């Protein structure tokens, strides 16, 4: 699996998705895909995320052998899935691994929105579950980076059950003293938000990330009150008490490292197990 | 594509009308021979009606299953609570924000055993539907459920849930009070329980709103209930930008009880009286009573730790994945 | 201690505090002090409450020896307290005991508003605590009838600490599987509401009872939004999710009996202790 | 009756002004003899200032204690967090309704040991005071605290709370979201903890709003802090229908640190630098650091069960009752 992508060619340009200003691609990349003009945090690919946060060269992929099964024979699913694999070089929307964070070993799971909208089917659910379980079995903190439109409807009720399955794994972390930190990135929605994402010990979000249960259109139709301007943004969720903090990309590494060190402090001092 | 369950029940309703009229003729007929003749014809009509219902309901398509699962005369949670339990005391507060009538719950006696019952509740009148928000629970509904689950744990009461919701409430207020967190926290609370937990999907098992209270040791599903990751209309809207293709989506989603059983996502299908649970609610309740009794006996005999572990393992096994030979 | 008060003299009248209609005192008494015209639930004295709910003759008073100490030498406190004792025949605002409820033994505590507004000082706090502890030690449900203006300021910080002390006793019930039911009656306020009252397993209220944290005037000054018409009534609290149900006086006995039977079911079947 | 702590600090402020001016004269003076003379006079003024402060602050009346406990320059929770802890990461959500800035909290390192810190937070600017609602927490503030207490328990982190609030928020919205339940539930959550819990009353220990986060194994109280069942003005309003008689009420309520210690309701008075904690915040912090260190060592050495039992027993013993000889 290609881990470091090629650097952008010198002189290439990109456009900010928010303020529409033109940026040097190399500068944009060097600024962690945060627009220097408006501060907009553009989506990261999974390996960009890993490079951003974890100690250099410390990432080791796990659970890479899992593949989707198309259990329902859902119309066009096999085809769409194959295309996504082809286009992204990934086998599904979630990448698992272990890494170190300022020297502390952690179990991680990273969703990549570019793979079928980061949707959670059986493979994603299994990987999230294993990342949490690995935290329990190897006594280390778990960090999950969320980026998902929700459950993968092409796997029907099996996808819905991933909500319960991943929640069971969170329960295992909680009853075993394993810290679990969720990082919401743009977007974190629906079945993912309504399961493992929202019950992390600590929830951090990138600025302006779209976060919600239902599509904004559905919510607005269903509601009777007025819709706040910042509805379903990270800033809205912070005010609503659903997040612990909004952290800019450049501070993410240090915040996560502090949290893992403190919440996982008891893991360092405990007697070694089995 | 049918728009309502009434479409295929129309012949039945007509037949029943005829039967009713003829029965009054039978009663009025003085001549015993003629009365016998008429009574035979009534019996014949009844056989025809039953045959029709049996055939028709045995070959309902997925979309028709959706329609019948949503049908107003279908028994709702409170109907089953009345039929199956004694001394139900509804407890209303979430102790945080509000009283949500889309989910009802409280302690009750099941064959003299105290249990905690929780379920989605639809309404039949327009007023009740509004009051109950069409069984679309808000965060406070799930937080009430959590409170009741935790109370059940403290007092060693088995938990029984009835699932019947189109979806959790998606409104702006529910978002701002954390509907997602509430659903997730409710599932989490159910995984923490060491008491037996049994769930019955009695109507619409609508996505996150349903699984939020369906984390059980054993999940039963009535024959004509549906259980789906997304409403078929929503699925059609996303896939084909055509919400009216709900029937196609219903087929693709495999949301019927036999599919759920085939994938191992529910444990047992509860056969309904032919023509659906609404034709004979007390018979439908009887079937539920039997599986609840068996389930309580089975899980009641387990240790608390084993019950919790069985529940986690049940959901842990769900999902269909392949393993690549070289990775 | 006088347990059954004298019946009202025949032909005596009382006036409904709500609708102001004139009622025969005997009829009013027979109707449990509920106005037959408007349904208003008038305040009950502690023994009227006990007679209303529990099996006849089953009440045995406990903890009757506790007396207030005036630890601060607070201006006029000793005098006021003596007057209240004189007037009510009670030693303080809370009466403890055991009783049976449709045959099930329960530990009970009843506040009487007529004694210094049912306020909670050291004696009331101690009694509430003992009623809860008795539930734990004798494995029986606890029912507390609340009627209080709040903490008794004449005992200063000692009164505030009764909030924590009674909460500790509730914690003991919770961790020992003892059901604890609170019945809010008019009024249930401030330090009592913000401690043992609000953390009962089940909370029932009589209709129209005044229930609140702060005096209504303070709340209205502090708030920015509009004040609902039914603010700080039982009906308001039911809508706000703070109560489980509002139960009319005539149904109180049967509701409490059902709840004790069901929530205390495991106490019947468990092996006898110590 | 003084209206502000500034009234008795006025002579000090004047003296300090003089001292400052004279110091600049000393620096500018070329003649060593004359400089010595001036420097001696400066030292003399400083002695006089210190003597005044020491005398004045050692005989503050109850009402003056109330005023100084409420004084704006007094160090607040975040000042002590900054002085005593490293790596504090504020966690904001109650996961139910909102973010309340009247209570702050999160994990931090105390001398390399991870702890969970929670405290009321006042504001100094008008803007910050409004944002923090004058440290009057709403239900969501106490529910955030509960979340942090429970997190501390999961990760075996001692809990340290700083108490500094006039009262919990009494507004209509707080009532409708259950401010009473939130306070009670927060106390309950603290009684459930098996980790060490230490509390420091650093300013106003205002009734239910204060005790809501002050259920600790050991409660420390700064010398000039106050702790009361009701604000003195409120007490005066009820007793004498004269809120302006706050000074009388303050005396009657015995809300000072020495009274609290005498009744056994706090465990230790933390002496403040003379002239109050605001004259030397780092010295005040040092005193707190020492008792926290000792408290963590003492309770860290206990078993989890013993810690929980000690906390319950600590509050169980509170209250002064007599027993009638014949009852
Ligand atoms: Zn930009
Ligand atoms: Zn009346």
The strand pairing partners of A95, in sequence order, are A110
Instruction: Summarize pLDDT for D60-119 with one digit per residue, the tens.
Output: 899 999 999 999 999 999 999 999 999 999 999 999 999 999 999 999 999 999 999 999
Range A23-50 average pLDDT: 91
Q: What is the pLDDT of residue C6?
A: 57
Q: What percent of chain D has pLDDT over 90?
A: 77
Distance from CA of B113 to the nearest CA of C (A): 8
Residue the block writes with tokens 């019946």? C7
Question: CA dihedral defined by C186, C189, C195, C199, rounded to 10 degrees?
Answer: 50
Give ipTM to 2 decimals: 0.95
Distance from CA of A240 to the nearest CA of D (A): 4
Please, which pLDDT band fits residue A48 given cuts at 50, 70 and 90? very high
**pLDDT bucket at D326, cuts 50 / 70 / 90:** low
Share of chain C above pLDDT 70, in %: 92
A158 pLDDT above the threshold of 50? yes
Nearest CA in chain B to A211: B175
**Which of B187, B254, B324 has the CB atom closest to A164's CB atom?**
B187
3-class DSSP string for D71-85: CCCCCCHHHHHHHHC
What number is the average pLDDT over the span B79-102? 97
Nearest to B155 among C239, C245, C263 (CB): C263
Whole-number pLDDT of residue A223? 60
The reply to whether C229 and C101 lie within a common domain is: yes
Question: Residue B182 — very low, low, confident or very high, per pLDDT cuts 50/70/90?
Answer: very high
Question: Measured between alpha carbons, how far is C170 from B180 in angstroms, rounded to an integer?
Answer: 31
Cα–Cα distance measured from residue D52 to residue D59, given in angstroms and rounded to the nearest whole number = 11
Domain total in chain A: 2
Interface test with C, best of B99, B108, B112, B150 (most C CBs within 10 A): B99
Interchain CB contacts (distance < 8 Å): C and D? 192
Ligand 1 centroid–CA A26 distance in Å is: 15
Do both A77 and A18 map to the same domain? no
Separation of A38 CA from ligand 1 center, angstroms?
4
Percent of chain D whose pLDDT exceeds 70 = 99
Domain co-membership, C19 together with C97: no
Q: Cβ distance D264 to D219 under 8 Å?
A: no
Is D138 at the interface with chain B, CB within 8 A?
no
Pick the residue with more confidence: D39 or D114? Answer: D114
Does position C268 have pLDDT exceeding 70, yes or no? yes
A75 to A63, A79, A80, B32: CA distances (angstroms): 27, 9, 10, 63
Ligand nearest to the CA of A40: 1
The CATH homologous superfamily to which domain D67-316 belongs is: 2-enoyl-CoA Hydratase; Chain A, domain 1 (3.90.226.10)
Residue C110 alpha carbon to ligand 2 centre in Å: 25
Instruction: Please name the helix (run of DSSP H) or strand (run of DSSP E) that holds residue B51, with its range, or none.
Output: helix B32-58
pLDDT surpassing 70 at residue A54 = yes
Q: Render pLDDT for C74-88 as a digit per residue (tens, 0 to 9).
A: 999 999 999 999 999
Main-chain dihedrals φ then ψ at residue D221, nearest 5 degrees: -140, 125
Confidence of residue A220 (pLDDT cuts 50, 70, 90): low
Q: What's the B321 CA to ligand 2 centre distance in angstroms? A: 69
Instruction: Give the phi and the psi of residue C92 in degrees, each rounded to 5.
Output: -165, -170
Beta strand spans in C90-179 (E): 94-101, 104-111, 142-148
Let me know whether C138 and C118 are in one domain: yes
Tens-place pLDDT, residues D113-156: 999 999 999 999 999 999 999 999 999 999 999 999 999 999 99
Is the pLDDT reported for residue A6 higher than 60? no
| Dmax (CA) of chain A | 56
Report the residue from C242, C259, C266 with minimal CB separation from B93.
C242
Q: Which domain holds residue A162?
A: 44-268
**pLDDT, average across residues A256-260:** 98
- The answer to whether C125 and C165 have CB atoms below 8 angstroms apart is yes
Rounded to whole angstroms, how far apart are CA atoms D18 and D21? 5
Name the more confident of B24 and D89: D89
pLDDT digits (tens, 9 = 90+) for C168-218: 999 999 999 999 999 999 999 999 999 999 999 999 999 999 999 998 677
If DSSP codes are grouped into helix, strand and coil, which group holds residue D282?
helix
Confidence class for position C2, pLDDT limits 50, 70, 90: very low
Q: State which residue of chain D sits closest to A267, comparing Cα positions.
A: D155
Q: What are phi and psi of B234, to 5 degrees?
A: -65, -40
Residue A155 and residue A251 in one domain? yes
Which run of H or of E encompasses B238? helix B232-240
Report chain D's mean pLDDT, rounded to a whole number.
Answer: 94
**Overall average pLDDT of the A186-215 stretch:** 96
Cis amide prior to A187 (ω within 30 degrees) = yes
Predicted confidence at residue D275, as pLDDT, reads 86
Of A67, A91, A153, the CB nearest to B235: A153
Residue B142 has pLDDT above 90, yes or no: yes
pLDDT at B109: 98
Most D CBs within 10 A among C157, C175, C226, C237, hence the mutation to make, goes to: C157
Angle of CA points C107, C110, C113, to nearest 5°: 170
- Residues A38 and A51 both lie in one domain: no
The ligand whose atoms approach the alpha carbon of C28 most closely is 2
Asked whether residue C34 falls in the same domain as residue C107, the answer is no
The enclosing domain of C258 has a CATH number of 3.90.226.10
Identify whether residues A94 and A207 lie together within a single domain.
yes
Supply φ then ψ for residue C211, to 5 degrees. Answer: -140, 125
CA of A15 to the centre of ligand 1 (A): 8
- Least confident range from A234-248, D55-69, D308-322: namely D55-69
Structure confidence at residue A274 (pLDDT): 44
Dihedral of CA atoms D317, D318, D319, D320 in degrees, nearest 10, equals: 60
Chains C and A touch (3+ CB pairs under 8 A): no
Test A213 with B227 for CB contact under 8 angstroms: no
Taking contacts as CB-CB distances below 8 angstroms, the residues of chain C near D169 are: 222
Within the 211-270 window of chain A, which residues sit less than 8 Å (CB to CB) from chain B?
Answer: 212-214, 218-220, 222-228, 231-232, 236, 240-242
Residue A225: its pLDDT value, please?
66
Please list, in sequence order, all residues whose beta carbon lies within 8 angstroms of the beta carbon of residue B203, skipping any fewer than 6 positions away: B69, B70, B74, B76, B122, B163, B164, B222, B225
C6 vs chain B: nearest CA distance in angstroms?
Answer: 36
Residue B155 to residue C245, Cβ atoms within 8 A: no
Banded pLDDT at D29 (limits 50, 70, 90): confident
Question: Is B97 at the interface with chain D, CB within 8 A?
Answer: yes
D26: pLDDT strictly greater than 80: yes
Token representation of residue B234: 């929503």
Q: Which two tokens stand for residue B266?
A: 């529910």
Same domain, C131 and C204: yes
Residue D319 has pLDDT above 60, yes or no: yes
Inter-residue contact D68 to D276 (CB < 8 Å): yes
Residue C33 CA: which ligand is closest?
2
**For the stretch C142-159, what's the b/e string if a residue is b when 16 or more beta carbons lie within 10 angstroms of its beta carbon?**
bbbbbbbbbbbbbbbbbb
Inter-chain contact D211–C219, Cβ cutoff 8 Å? no
Q: Do C160 and D229 touch (CB under 8 A)?
A: yes
D40: closest CA of chain A, how far (Å): 51
D-contacting chains (≥3 CB pairs under 8 Å): A, B, C
Residues of chain A above pLDDT 70, percent: 92
**pTM of the complete model:** 0.95
Strand-pairing partners, residue D135, are none
Are B and A neighbours with ≥3 CB pairs closer than 8 A? yes
From C38's Cα to the closest Cα of chain D, the distance in A is: 26
Confidence of residue A224 (pLDDT cuts 50, 70, 90): low
Report the gap between the CA of C165 and the closest CA in chain D (Å).
5
Retrieve residue A198's tokens.
Answer: 């929202």
- CB-CB neighbors (< 8 A) of A194 in chain B: 168, 179-181, 183-184, 208, 212
Residues A26 and A121 in one domain: no
Taking the CA of A42 as reference, the closest ligand is: 1
């Amino acid at each position: 699996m290609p881990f470091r992508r090629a650097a952008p060619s010198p002189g290439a340009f990109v456009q900010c998705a928010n303020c529409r200003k033109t940026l040097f691609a190399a500068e944009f990349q060097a600024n962690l895909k945060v627009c220097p003009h408006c501060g907009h945090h553009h989506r990261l690919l999974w390996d960009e995320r890993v490079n951003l946060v974890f100690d250099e060269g410390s990432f080791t992929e796990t659970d890479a052998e899992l593949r989707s099964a198309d259990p329902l024979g859902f119309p066009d699913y096999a085809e769409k899935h194959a295309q996504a694999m082809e286009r992204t070089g990934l086998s599904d929307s979630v990448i698992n691994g272990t890494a170190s964070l300022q020297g502390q070993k952690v179990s991680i799971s990273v969703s990549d929105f570019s793979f079928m909208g980061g949707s959670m089917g059986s493979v994603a659910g299994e990987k999230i579950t294993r990342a949490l379980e690995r935290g329990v079995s190897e006594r280390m903190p778990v960090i999950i980076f969320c980026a998902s439109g929700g459950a993968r409807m092409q796997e029907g009720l099996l996808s819905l059950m991933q909500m319960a399955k991943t929640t069971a794994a969170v329960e295992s972390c909680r009853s075993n003293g394993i810290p679990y930190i969720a990082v919401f990135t743009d977007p974190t929605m629906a079945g993912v938000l309504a399961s493992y994402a929202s019950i992390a010990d600590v929830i951090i979000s990138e600025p302006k990330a779209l976060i919600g249960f239902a599509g904004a259109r559905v919510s607005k139709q269903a509601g009777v009150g007025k819709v706040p301007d910042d509805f379903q943004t990270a800033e809205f969720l912070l005010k609503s008490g659903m997040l612990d903090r909004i952290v800019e990309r450049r501070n993410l590494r240090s915040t996560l490292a502090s949290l893992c060190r403190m919440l996982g402090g008891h893991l360092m001092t405990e007697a070694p197990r089995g | 594509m049918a728009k309502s369950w009434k479409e295929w029940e129309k012949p039945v309703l007509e037949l029943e009308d005829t039967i009713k009229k003829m029965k009054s003729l039978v009663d009025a007929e003085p001549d015993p021979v003629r009365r016998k003749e008429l009574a035979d014809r009534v019996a014949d009509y009844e056989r025809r009606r039953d045959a029709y219902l049996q055939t028709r309901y045995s070959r309902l398509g997925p979309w028709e299953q959706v329609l019948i699962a949503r049908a107003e005369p279908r028994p709702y949670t409170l109907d089953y609570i009345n039929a199956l339990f004694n001394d139900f005391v509804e407890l209303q507060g979430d102790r945080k924000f509000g009283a949500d009538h889309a989910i009802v719950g409280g302690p009750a006696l099941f064959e003299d055993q105290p249990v905690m019952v929780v379920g989605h509740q639809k309404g039949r009148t327009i007023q009740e539907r509004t009051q109950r928000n069409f069984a679309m629970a808000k965060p406070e509904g799930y937080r009430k459920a959590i409170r009741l689950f935790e109370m059940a744990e403290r007092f060693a009461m088995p938990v029984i849930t009835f699932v019947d919701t189109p979806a959790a409430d998606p409104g702006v207020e529910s978002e701002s009070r954390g509907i997602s967190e509430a659903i997730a926290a409710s599932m989490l609370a159910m995984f923490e329980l060491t008491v037996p937990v049994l769930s019955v999907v009695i109507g619409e098992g609508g996505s996150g709103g349903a699984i939020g209270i369906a984390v059980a040791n054993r999940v039963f599903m009535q024959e004509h209930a549906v259980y789906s990751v997304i409403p078929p209309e929503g699925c059609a809207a996303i896939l084909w930008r055509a919400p009216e293709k709900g029937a196609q989506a219903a087929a693709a989603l495999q949301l019927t009880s036999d599919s759920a059983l085939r994938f191992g996502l529910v444990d047992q299908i509860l056969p309904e009286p032919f023509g659906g649970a609404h034709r004979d609610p007390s018979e439908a309740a009887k079937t539920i009573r039997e599986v609840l009794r068996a389930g309580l006996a089975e899980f009641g005999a387990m240790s608390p730790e084993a019950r919790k572990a069985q529940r986690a393992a049940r959901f842990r096994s769900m999902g269909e994945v392949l393993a690549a030979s070289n990775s």
